[in-house]
Amino acid sequence: MTARMSRVLAPAIAASLAGSAAGAQSWRTLEVSRQLRDSAPAAVQVIYGTGKIGVRATRNPLLYHMLLRYDASRTQPRHAFDTTARKLQIGVQKSEVRFDGQKDSEAGHLQLELSKTTPLDLNLDLGAVESDLDLTGLRISRLRVESGASDSKLRFDSLNATRMSMLEVSLGAASFRGDRLANANAADIRVDAGVGNVELDLGGQWTQDMDLHVDITLGIVTIHVPADVGVRVSLQKTIASFEHEGLVERDGAWVSRNWDSAPHKVRITAKTVFGKLSIDRTGR
Amino acid sequence: MRTAILPLILAVAAAPLTARQAAAIQQRPGAEKQPAAESGGRAVTAAPAVEAPDSARVQLSKSATDSLKGLVDRFRRDPEAVPLPAPDQVAMGGKTVPAGTALAGPVAAAGGPLHVYGTVNGDAIAIGSDVIVHPGGHVTGNAVSALGAVTLLGGTVDGEIRQLGGALGAIPRAAADVETPARSTRHALALSSSWLIILVLMAIGVLLFAGDYLEGVVDSLEGRFGRSFWAGIATQLALAPVLALLVVALAVTILGILLIPFAIVAFVLAVAGLITLGFLAIARITGESVAPAASKRYSARGAALRALVVGVSIYVGLWVLASAFAWAPVVETVLRGVAVAITWVATTAGLGAAVLSRGGTRRSTPAAPLAAVNDIPWQTPTPVTGVVAARRPTPSSSARER
């Protein structure tokens, strides 16, 4: 049996080894940018499958600047700007998630810098990534972040100079933290998550009232609201807890005591099946 | 200060590749970026008359030129490259587009910088060196540097500014490439063969460390295939509701929410374990029936291992066979369909048997032995005529009488 077994297994082992050897990597760097000609609005679509991604404002007179490190044997960079439609597609084709034991330092990364003067309709389509989206200083007219399994941070350290019509975050299984979201200058913020941990800090400069919709199936949602902002929470929950310290029930919703007198208000509509919703009004 | 630095920058940027640097290229073909000049490079007078004359180019040695030609060829095949001019029109050692002139692109240099003072109507490309667009310089297309940099010193580029680093050339594609039939066949074969090896190793492990449980599932499966199969289907249908119930039960108690992820993982592991145990049990039965072992030749464990390997090879062999026809999609689809159907039936029956036997811990109860019957009184000769023979009691008739 041994001889027969070895005859059967030897080609199989050889074939599997050949298969693993075929998966050789070819790391490259690509840097692309485009000079800024005017400040007309532009639509930016960022596609990135796996790795680390960072987005921030550029200090140079450029419309965009991308520094990409990628495995050319598995992914294909995308960088196309339609000058007529003013639409930029940038990033890499989404690749399959591979568990090949590579270290973080060997993973791909993308650093994207965008113009501070151009109003941007920014759409980020991310896969399994670790993202750091520092949108401080950018002029964002609309923001949409869609991500599968990710650890994402979104930050606005200064007021968005353009009114944002919509800030939409859609997550699969993720950890998401949004810092100083009042600076996003958005009247409507929507966060939709499957499973995960969502932390939203509504600090920053308030210029208008805000509607915040949070829909999470399973997870923990924590919303930090400055003490001087009026809060009204409508909650639809199946099996979930709601920490509402400092809020009182009125007309089927929970409102802060300063609701009638607050200069700015946030109306929170939350839906959760399993999980926990916390409203923190102590300020951060 | 600024005026002092400017000539230095221009000198550094303007000098073409020296013979020594060209030799360095040959030695380091994969270098990320080539130095623009040696530190002792010649300074060039400041703008607006600052133009590096083409006469400043040094003659490259033949080996350096050959090396650069190889680099240019690799760049031509690179997926991020832009179209290059004909090979004899790539300026080896650097090139300058003088102010007031307009060249039709693409304009390319290799092994030395491409200085643009005038206009390039098209792409400006430098390979193994930099593209430098000086004040008044204009590139209407893209400015591309491979293993170098694109530097804007006041000029304009209408298109994209692109810098490539790392290995140049056609990339041997793994996932992103279009699969050739041979490659896809090789890949499919490697995958299915790997599964064969993994399952055989798992079979050995189960036999060594959980042989009793496997035996229990085999006992449950033997002679009760139909029942096991239906139990397997019922189990498959119940998996999602049971998991949902488990999650809800944990979520009802707030503290239990924290346990939900662990419970999901444990549930998945338990189901995977049952499926594996069931599949190996049916593989063993299949192996025993297809290639029965001569009882004297193998020990009990040896016979069980042989049956397992044969059984696993039969089931996974179907997948290997389907993979071998990956070059013929229709045949592969049919064979894969057959493999899916047979594997599903086997796995379902195995899962059912694993569930019925509680993971092999509950053996099927052997048939009750016949109650001892005292034969002695019935050993009297039966009369041939005249007397009716008494009915011999059997265990069932005894039970009925009771």
Contacts of B46 (CB under 8 A, 6+ apart): B3, B6, B7, B10
| Average pLDDT estimate for B40-45 | 30
Question: Residue A157's pLDDT is what?
Answer: 94
User: What is the pLDDT, as a whole number, of residue A25?
Assistant: 63
Predicted pLDDT of residue A124: 93
Please state the domain extents for chain B. 2-164, 181-356
How far is Cα of residue B240 from the mean position of the Cα atoms in its chain? 28
Q: What is the mean pLDDT of chain A?
A: 83
pLDDT reported for residue B199: 87
B 203-242 residues with CB below 8 A of A?
A: none
Contact check, Cβ <8 Å, B171/A73: yes
- Encoding tokens for residue B217? 């599932």
- The residues facing A218 across adjacent strands are A195, A274
From the CA of B321, how many Å to the nearest CA of chain A?
12
Two structure tokens written together for B63: 């080996």
Contacts of A13 in chain B (CB under 8 A): 193, 197
Is residue B143 predicted with pLDDT exceeding 90?
Answer: yes
Tell me the per-residue pLDDT of B315-350, one tens digit each, with 9 for 90 and over: 888 888 888 888 788 888 888 899 999 999 999 999
Q: What is the pLDDT of residue A67?
A: 94
Minimum-distance CB partner of A12 among B176, B197, B257: B197
Those residues whose C-beta lies under 8 Å from the C-beta of residue B170, and which sit 6 or more positions away, are B74, B77, B78, B79
Query: Which pLDDT tens digit goes with each residue over A5-48?
Result: 443 334 334 333 334 434 456 788 999 999 998 888 999 999 99
Cα nearest neighbour of A92 on chain B: B176
Write phi, then psi, for A227 (nearest 5 degrees): -65, -30
Identity of the residue in B171, B174, B257 whose CB atom sits nearest the CB atom of A274: B257
User: Residue B293 pLDDT > 90, yes or no?
Assistant: no
Parse chain A into domains and list their residue ranges: 24-95+104-134, 147-284
pLDDT band at residue B88 under the 50/70/90 scheme:
confident
pLDDT at B237 over 70: yes
Q: Is the pLDDT of residue B178 over 60?
A: no
The pLDDT assigned to A240 comes to 73
**What's the ipTM?**
0.81
Report the gap between the CA of A23 and the closest CA in chain B (Å). 6
Share above pLDDT 70 across residues of chain A, in percent, rounded to a whole number? 86
Choose among A23, A30, A74: nearest Cβ to B80: A30
* Cβ contact, residue pair A18, B196, below 8 Å: no
Q: What is the pLDDT of residues A86-107, one digit of tens each?
A: 999 999 875 544 444 444 445 7
- A121, containing H or E segment: strand A119-134
Q: Pairing state of beta strands A62-71 and A109-114?
A: antiparallel
Beta bridge partners of A45: A89, A123
Q: How many CB atoms lie within 10 A of CB B209?
A: 10
Could you tell me if A268 and A223 are in contact, meaning their C-beta atoms sit under 8 angstroms apart? yes
Cα radius of gyration (chain B): 40
User: How does pLDDT run across A210-266, given as a tens digit for each residue?
Assistant: 999 998 888 888 999 999 999 999 988 777 788 878 888 888 889 999 989 999 999
Tell me if B254 and A241 make a contact (CB, 8 A cut-off).
Answer: yes
The helix/strand/coil state of B385 is coil
Is residue B54 pLDDT above 70, yes or no? no
The answer to whether the CB atoms of A28 and B309 lie below 8 A apart is no
Cis preceding linkage at B35, omega within 30: no
**Span between the terminal Cα atoms of chain B, in Å:** 119
The pLDDT of residue B108 is above 80? yes
What is the reported pTM? 0.60
Q: Is the pLDDT of residue B392 over 60?
A: no
Q: Is some CB atom of chain A closer than 8 A to the CB atom of B304? A: no
pLDDT at residue A34, as a whole number: 94
pLDDT of residue B21: 38
Query: Which whole number is the average pLDDT over A179-200?
Result: 91
